[in-house]
Amino acid sequence: MITLMKMPIRHGSAPLRVARGHFATNHSHINYFVDITYQKTRLSEAKDSARQLVTNFVNDTPVDTILCLDGTSVVGTCLAQELTKSGFRTINAHETIYILDPEYNANSQIIFRDNTQGMIRGKHVLVLMASVTTGYTAKRALEAITYYGGTVAGVAAIYSAVDQVEGYPVRSVYTIQDLPGYASYDYRECPYCKAGQKIDALVNSFGYSQL
């Protein structure tokens, strides 16, 4: 049985909900599950997360498009509003910020259709994620932006276990410093597996499925 608990609030007013145990992601095994559900779906918490994120950016890079991974469109919309209020520059003709969800092909590669490529090509694109644990998914997003002719404006996440991806700092509301004893392992080197401890749940940025 997975029991979520609220960590002490150190940033803003939106609590971080976590569970301890033995969890498997697509790329690693971890001892914390970080639940981002309410930050992504509850407007008050999405606004709070956006306000926390915007303080991490310096007003010297235009942001034209926010690429919202992991179902973060609500947070992305709030972040666009905060960036606009903070005076961030944009090179768009309409002086606005695009909010874009990615599409994935059969090989899990991010693709953009002809009607959305104009939101990437020649634009400064900020990658927004719910969580960054290994950086693998973020790398795919950066590769897609470059492939379609965009410029990476930065990487932002509600929670991140890494400091940077491909040389780009990951700006986040919460980090592993907020999770005492956090650990991530290659599944082949997982000490819980070696000790015979069963996996509690399969997890990703959308939630968990108990086993």
Q: What is the pLDDT of residues 111-165, one digit of tens each?
A: 999 999 999 999 999 999 998 988 889 999 999 999 999 999 999 999 998 999 9
Using the structure block, give the residue that is written with the tokens 């991490």.
56
Average pLDDT over residues 159-187: 91
**How does strand 168-175 pair with strand 164-165?**
antiparallel
Domains of the chain by range and CATH?
Answer: 5-210 (3.40.50.2020)
Mean pLDDT across the stretch 204-209?
Answer: 86
| Sequence letter at residue 17 | R
Query: For 28-67, how does the pLDDT look when each residue is reduced to its tens digit (9 = 90+)?
Result: 999 999 999 999 999 999 999 999 998 887 666 788 999 9
* Rounded distance between C-alpha atoms, residue 201 and residue 211, angstroms: 5
Give the span between the Cα atoms of 63 and 83, in whole angstroms: 8
Q: Are 144 and 158 in contact (CB under 8 A)?
A: no
Global pTM value: 0.88
